[in-house]
Chain A
Amino acid sequence: MDTLKAFSRHPSGMLGLVILIVVVTLAVLAPWLYPEDPWEMIGRPFAPPFSEGFLLGTDTLGRDVAAGIVHGTRVSLTIGVASTLAAVCIGVLVGAMAGYWGGGIDDVLMRVTELFQTIPGFILAILMVATLGPSIVNVIIAIATVSWPPLARLTRAEFLRLRGREFVQAATCQGERPLQVVLGHILPNAVSPIIVTGSLTIASAILIESALSFMGLGDPNLMSWGFMVGAARTVIRQAWWMSVFPGVAILLTVLAINLVGEGLNDTLNPRNARAGRH
């Protein structure tokens, strides 16, 4: 409860949260706001904003840009959240094992993590989607694959720090089994930084997804912001609205998530919180 109260006093965090709520509402209401398929060509091509009843104009094939953005919200958020959840699961599992057991297991797991970190993430994601085929599941897998290493390293560092703490040793001495110690004492005390990093990972996942779609590697059945920017880039001089509005959508969403993440960092991190209350 204290955290919620502190967060509500964090101005930029609250701004991010408001934007995020708007974005999520759009995603939820998309089928009612724009019941038509966003791929449907329903108007004159190259209609500028506020003309012919199209709020944000139409694209090169006469599709409604506003409908595309609203439906694209669902894709971006789904991929952002799903791939981050997958990355958190992998990262926490790997980091926890490395940090708790240490020694040889730690060495092996960390070398594997470093292997993933040395490969440029975006190129790996492109390769994976190109070989596995452009579907939403594969895009999620690809983004999760490139996003987990920082989470693993963070979790490992937290576990290393907490493993030697006396309350953890006390739990071991009390006869609690290793799994109980990890789930009952170490993980709850490590969860704040993981939440913060996880929230920022959502933002970067949305960016990777947009970039993949921009290059034509998104799911061809789903309208997404990156695809819209990519499709409109050749006509940006004649029809700026086709790429600018989806671009602004990406910008606002990523910015909002970053603001929320920063707000969470300030409120969840006890050192910052204490400094703030002084």
Chain B
Amino acid sequence: MAGDMLLAVENLSIALPGGADRAHAVEDVSFTVGANEIVCLVGESGSGKSMTAHAILSLLPERVAISAGSLRFKGRDIAGLDEPAMRALRGGEIAMIFQEPMSALNPLARIGDQIAEAIVTHARPVPTREALDARVIELVTSVGLPDPATIVRSFPFQLSGGQRQRVMIAMAMANNPALLLADEPTTALDVTTQKQILGLIRDLQASRGMGVLLITHDFGVVADMADRVVVMRDGRIVEQGPVDEVLRRPSHDYTRTLIAAVPGSRPPETRSRDVGREPVLAARGLTKTFSTRQSLFRPPRVVAAVRNVALSLAARETVAVVGESGSGKSTLGRMIMRLVEPDAGAVDFHGEDLLTLRGEALRQMRRRLQIVFQDPFAALDPRQRVGDAVARGPMAFGTPREEAMAEARRLLQRVGLKEGAADRYPHEFSGGQRQRICIARALALKPQVLVADEAVSALDVSVQATILRLLAELREDMNLAILFITHDLRVAAEIADRIVVMKRGEVVEQGETRAVFGAPAHPYTRELLDAVPGRHLFQGPHALAAS
């Protein structure tokens, strides 16, 4: 086996500059990647998994440096390589792909030229124009892009996210690398696209006998991809071993907690809850089209974001709207919140049509409907104290300041934040804590309907689980009806009573969670379910049918 050893990370430590929350980003980390194997580096955000991968290609941020240990690639220590030697390695024998394929591609250069550049940088002698073009087409074909001749002449913005990631992979494959570093390559993609990209990486790995170091936070991906797993926490390795061993018989408590936190891995809740009979909110015929003017003479491009969607919500009920990006699920939530004005349709709420309300009447109604956004970093005013953020809503409706602040403190404690949180600014909190603040802010007005727009999608799995639990508790305490918008079917299965599946602005299927996931009627629902990573390991949404 030693002869097959490709990369050996030995006692690697990476020092952070003074003033950081810990002295080392990575401490005493050792693992190996063999030729022809996929090793998954898994951990929560801040675990040092990305730093480790970036250190391999000397891509560490300024003032962050390797302080101890060695990185052996094919027996040679590459930790102290100078810049020219490292450049020869990057994109040559070791290639890397990143999370966000849009920012990793030059927006002003054609796809074909960018791939060609990757070849020309390394291939000596530089191939002829014809050979180069042929090689580019070959690469584009090998990553499964349709119509390679058109793709090579396209610009990045003309491709979808999944296609761009395929282009990145084609560039990475340009010089037949021995080792591929993939840093969260599918985190920004839809489940179905994720499945395709992961399949592509696995196929390329198998056919070329590459070593792959895949960095991910998703145990589902680990279960589908890895030969071996390395679990990291706070810069240290807590556990490593063959995938089946680590995932089925984790020896460390932390690994166990992480695996238990994967949505869908818990046994589904069987006891039926008492859900209100009468709908609190009923939407009918909601429609929204966006049109973008491209030029004066061309007709505007019209996109039907949502077409004729009906939906109802009862008290203490959670309805999950699932679909891929572009399915119109977020627009639907925003129309109900009146953040986006629908073109047609009606929303019955307490016997009134929400969509006809204007001015003060609309403002009075707003307190009954609240929203929690996806990105807790963007959803809080950076210049406003957390207590003020929560108290402002009630104050806008006439609650005296003292009273509103006292209520805000109580709510912040209710959502699990420490005393004193009210006097601090948002940047002092972690992502999960901020999402708790956003939930407290939404609940300060005692709403009847809560729209959660991808409310846990930006969070680590372990944090996701706690937020989902909090939402379920609050739903019972406050008689909330929750409209839960998500792209993650595992999360939907965890929290929802009913599921609405959307595709290209239309509802293709809806029903009880158990029925929809157990016996999906629409092929699209089946496709989504099949794409859920880690199905063979975790029971996933399917288990609901059995219980």
Co-assembled chains A and B = yes
List the interface of chain A (C-beta within 8 A of B): 165-177, 180, 184-185, 188-189, 278
- The answer on a CB contact under 8 Å between A171 and B392 is yes
Residue numbers in A under 8 Å from B441 (CB-CB): 170, 174
CA distance A168 to B339 in the complex (A): 11
Main secondary structure of the interface of B (DSSP, over half): loop
Contact indicator B381/A175 (Cβ below 8 Å)? no
Known A-B contacts A174-B441, A174-B445, A278-B61; A169 and B339 likewise in contact (beta carbons under 8 Å): yes
Q: Does B383 contact A (CB under 8 A)?
A: yes
**Distance A189 CA – B339 CA, assembled complex (angstroms):** 21
Extra 9 A-B pairs, beta carbons < 8 Å, given A173-B337, A184-B384, A185-B381: A166-B375, A166-B378, A170-B441, A172-B339, A172-B366, A173-B339, A174-B366, A174-B444, A175-B364
Interface membership of B379, Cβ < 8 A: yes
Q: In the complex, what residue of chain A is closest to B380 when comparing beta carbons?
A: A167
CB closest residue in chain B, given A188: B383
B397 lies within 8 A of chain A by Cβ: yes
Residue pair A185, B396 in contact (C-beta under 8 Å) = no
| Neighbouring A residues of B396 by C-beta, 8 Å | 174-177, 180
User: Considering the chains assembled together, what is the distance between the CA atoms of A167 and B339 in angstroms?
Assistant: 12
Complex contact A166–B379 (CB within 8 A): yes
The CA of A189 and the CA of B383, in the complex, are separated in Å by: 7
Q: Which residue on B lies nearest to A176, using beta carbons?
A: B396
Supposing A166-B373, A278-B61, A278-B63 touch, asked if A173 and B366 sit within 8 A by C-beta, the answer is: yes
* Shortest beta-carbon distance from B11 to chain A in Å: 27
Q: Is the pair B445, A171 in contact by a Cβ cutoff of 8 Å?
A: no
Least CB distance from A123 to B in Å reads: 32
User: Which positions 388-426 of chain B face chain A at CB distance < 8 Å?
Assistant: 392-393, 396-397
Q: Within 8 Å CB of B373, what residues of A?
A: 166, 169-170
How distant is the Cα of A180 from the Cα of B392 in the complex, in angstroms? 10
Which residues of chain A are near B379, meaning CB under 8 Å?
166-167, 170
Looking across the interface, which residue of chain B has its beta carbon closest to that of A278? Answer: B62
Given that A170-B371, A171-B392, A174-B392 are known contacts, is A189 also in contact with B366, CB under 8 Å in the complex? no
Which residue from B62, B364, B383, B438 sits with its C-beta under 8 Å from A170?
B438
Scan B322-348; emit 1 where CB is below 8 A from any A CB, else 0. 000000000000000101000000000
Please measure, in the bound complex, the distance between the C-alpha atom of A15 and the C-alpha atom of B367, giving whole angstroms.
52
Q: Which residue of A lies closest to B397 (CB)?
A: A175
In the complex, 9 of the A-B residue pairs with CB atoms within 8 angstroms, ordered by the A residue number, are A169-B371, A170-B373, A170-B380, A170-B441, A174-B370, A174-B393, A175-B363, A175-B367, A278-B61
State the 7 A-B residue pairs at the shortest beta-carbon distance, nearest first.
A174-B393, A166-B379, A166-B373, A167-B381, A175-B396, A166-B378, A175-B366
Scoring B61, B371, B442 by chain A CB atoms within 10 A of each residue's CB, the highest score goes to: B371
* B382 interface residue per 8 A CB criterion: yes
- Complex CA distance for A174 and B61, rounded to whole angstroms: 40
Residues in chain A near residue B392, CB distance under 8 A? 171, 174, 176, 184
Partner of A175, one of B62, B378, B380, B445: B445
Cβ-based interface call for B369 (8 A): yes
Tell me, rounded to whole Å, the shortest Cβ–Cβ distance linking B502 to chain A: 21
CB–CB B382/A189 < 8 A? yes
Interface centre among B62, B375, B381 (most CB of A within 10 A): B381
Q: Which residues of B contact A189 (CB under 8 A)?
A: 381-383
| B276: min CB distance to chain A, Å | 23
Considering only CB atoms, which chain B residue lies closest to A189 in the complex? B383
A175, B383: Cβ atoms under 8 Å?
A: no
Q: Is the CB of B370 within 8 A of A173?
A: yes
Q: A175–B61 contact, CB under 8 A?
A: no
Bound CA span A171–B43, Å? 35
CA–CA, A171 to B444, complex, Å? Answer: 12
A171 to B379 CA separation, bound complex (whole angstroms) = 9
Question: Considering the chains assembled together, what is the distance between the CA atoms of A89 and B446 in angstroms?
Answer: 39
Decide yes or no: A165 and B378 within 8 Å by CB, A174-B366, A174-B445 being known contacts: yes
Output the nearest chain A residue to B61 by Cβ-Cβ distance: A278
Contacts of B371 in A (CB 8 A): 169-170, 173
Q: Smallest CB-CB separation from B363: which chain A residue?
A: A175
B438, A185: Cβ atoms closer than 8 Å:
no
**A148 vs chain B, min Cβ distance (A):** 26
**Which of A170, A172, A184, A189 has most chain B Cβ within 10 Å?**
A170
Identify the closest chain B residue to A168 (Cβ): B381
Q: Which chain B residues lie closer than 8 Å to A278 at the CB level?
A: 61-63
Residues of A with C-beta under 8 A to B393: 174-176
Q: Which residue of A has the minimal Cβ distance to B438?
A: A170
Name the one of B378, B381, B383, B397 contacting A171, with C-beta atoms under 8 angstroms.
B381
A174 to B445, CA, bound (A): 7
| A171–B366 CA distance with the chains assembled, in angstroms | 11
A5 to chain B, nearest CB (A): 14
Verify B63–A177 contact, CB threshold 8 A: no
In the complex, the chain B residue whose C-beta lies closest to that of A185 is: B381
Instruction: List, in ascending order, chain A residues with CB within 8 A of B370's CB.
Output: 173-174
**CB-nearest residue of chain B relative to A169?**
B339
CB closest chain-A residue, reference B17? A278
Instruction: Across the interface, name the chain A residue whose C-beta is closest to B64.
Output: A278
Chain B residues with CB below 8 A from A180, complex form: 396
Complex CA gap A5/B375 in Å reads: 31
Q: Which residues of B lie under 8 Å from residue A168 when comparing CB positions?
A: 381
B62 touches A185 (CB 8 A): no
Nearest CB in chain B: distance from A180 CB, A: 7
Residue in A174, A175, A188 with the greatest tally of chain B CB atoms within 10 Å: A174
When C-beta atoms are compared, the residue in chain B nearest to A191 turns out to be B383
* The residue from B61, B63, B378, B444 contacting A167, defined by CB atoms under 8 A apart: B378
Q: How far is the CA of A170 from the CA of B393 in the complex (A)?
A: 10
Asked if A173 and B369 make an inter-chain contact with CB atoms under 8 angstroms apart, the answer reads yes
* Residues 356-378 (chain B) with a chain A CB within 8 angstroms: 363-364, 366-367, 369-371, 373, 375, 378
Q: How far is B389's CA from A170's CA once the two chains are assembled, in angstroms?
A: 10
Bound together, the chains give a CA A167 to CA B441 distance in angstroms of 11
Name the distance in Å between A165's Cβ and chain B's nearest Cβ: 6
A residues in contact with B364, CB < 8 Å: 175
